Amino acid sequence: MGFTLGFHMLFAAFGVGFPLLMLVAERIALRGGGDHYMALARTWGRANALLFAVGAVSGTALSFELGLLWPGFMRLTGSTIGVGFATEAFAFFVEAIFIGLYLYGWNRLSPRAHWWTGVPIALSGAASAALVIAVDAWMQHPVDGGALLRGGVVSPLKALFANPHWFVMATHATIACYAATAFTVAAVYAWGMLRGRRTAAHRAGLRIAMVLATGATLLMPFTGDLAGKAVARFQPTKLAAMESQFRSEAAAPLRIGGLPDPARRTVRYDIEIPGGLSWLAYGSGSATVRGLDAVPPADWPDVPVTHVAFQLMVGSGTLMVLVALLYWWSRRRTASEGLGRLALLGVLLGAPLAFLALETGWVVTEVGRQPWIVYGLQRTADAVTPVPGLLLYLVGYGALYLLLGTTVVLLLRGVERAVPAVERAA
């Protein structure tokens, strides 16, 4: 399940971010920006449709796996989380319908009407992410979950959408998807410019993507701070694992880097900022942070994985901010045609950093919740299938995703060639 989700997230991120980029490019073209902006909108529209199709396949596999791998989980929670998946499916179908209208509406609809067909794509893409995260947010903080254990009925709308954890998680994750998409698109055009292709389309594509990447990257520390405070409130054990806080203490330090040793309950090679964790989590440098010693070791997450993933996420996000600042500093010093090689190399680095932050953030969220699949309500060991022989399924899904990944790379290479030559040369 983790392997499948890790793969699917790559395409889900593009489904959130790509529609906004193509809308911006087409809008600029309609306002007289030039044919190269329309070329970008056509190219990004085709790429978005392709990535959406692959994401649909990998997402369908996930729905199969819920029944295959998690019978105990679905038996307990299906009536609650089913509403979240059903509403996400509605957003998915809206997105699929309007992607079709957008692709086939070129030269068939008026320019203004065609642009408006892209708006529901952008809105439903973001809504799909937020609605799926509603389910995950409930698994992190199961509102009214105790009623399920007593055999009662839980209002799914209240449990999913009145959950205080949901808005914070959805906002942070959606912004991360925008950042990952924008940095990847920017890296494509930066690579072209490094190879001497400094056309108007390359410069415009890089500029639009970096505007979105910069905005998203600068917002992420603020939404991340809110997410961290929510974790401190609702999942103190996860916070302790993220920071390798083995004992409860006042004025708990913030750790940068380090390798935790759960057996000795120490952290090696870290840099400590006194009182930093207390201040970030609770707004006071003297506040007491509950450590892992407050719960039995059997209830600990995998501390090394959670801590290292958290450090990678924060480190990647910090470097992304520096990449964005380097890009705009270089633009200010030079004309766009002469954008510095260092800045372009930095943009190339931004793409893997953005997806590393996205994937490691997900690892922190899910591994840090263990050993619970529904935090404090149901253990993973009680939810997973007892059927042996699942290695065959893992190999099968691995082969499927290898085929999908290879296919999408080959098809994306042909997307730009599908754009009329007169537009590509702009």
Give, for all 426 residues of the chain, the pLDDT tens digit: 888 888 888 888 888 999 999 999 999 999 888 888 888 888 888 888 888 888 887 778 788 888 888 888 888 888 888 888 888 888 889 999 999 999 888 888 898 999 999 999 999 999 998 998 999 999 999 887 777 776 767 788 888 888 888 999 999 999 999 999 999 999 999 988 888 777 888 888 999 999 999 999 999 999 999 999 999 999 999 999 999 999 999 999 999 999 999 989 999 998 999 999 999 999 888 899 999 999 999 999 999 999 999 999 999 999 999 999 999 988 877 654 457 888 889 999 999 999 999 999 999 999 999 999 999 889 999 998 888 878 888 888 888 888 888 888 887 776 655 544 434 434
Q: Return the closest-CA partner of residue 238 out of 172, 148, 309.
A: 309
What is the token pair recorded at 19? 């529609």
CA–CA separation, 119 and 98 (whole Å) = 9
Asked if 9 contacts 358 with a C-beta cutoff of 8 angstroms, the reply is: yes
CA–CA separation, 36 and 33 (whole Å) = 8
Q: Return the closest-CA partner of residue 83 out of 134, 120, 126.
A: 134
Strand partners, 289: 249
Q: What is the largest CA-CA distance in the chain?
A: 69
CA–CA separation, 83 and 135 (whole Å) = 9
What confidence score (pLDDT) does residue 424 get?
A: 45
Residue with tokens 């203490």: 249
189-197 — which CB contacts under 8 Å span 24+ positions?
Answer: 190/344, 190/345, 190/347, 190/348, 191/348, 193/339, 193/344, 194/341, 194/344, 194/345, 194/348
What is the token pair recorded at 242? 């993220």
Q: Is the dihedral of CA 372, 377, 381, 387 positive or negative?
A: negative
pTM for the complete prediction? 0.90
Per-domain residue ranges for the chain? 1-234+387-426
What confidence score (pLDDT) does residue 126 get?
A: 92
175: buried, middle or exposed (CB in 10 Å: 19+, 13-18, 0-12)?
A: buried
What is the token pair recorded at 291? 């450590």
- Whole-number CA gyration radius for the chain: 23
What is the token pair recorded at 181? 């998409």
3-class DSSP state for residue 100?
A: helix
User: Terminus-to-terminus CA distance in the chain, angstroms?
Assistant: 45
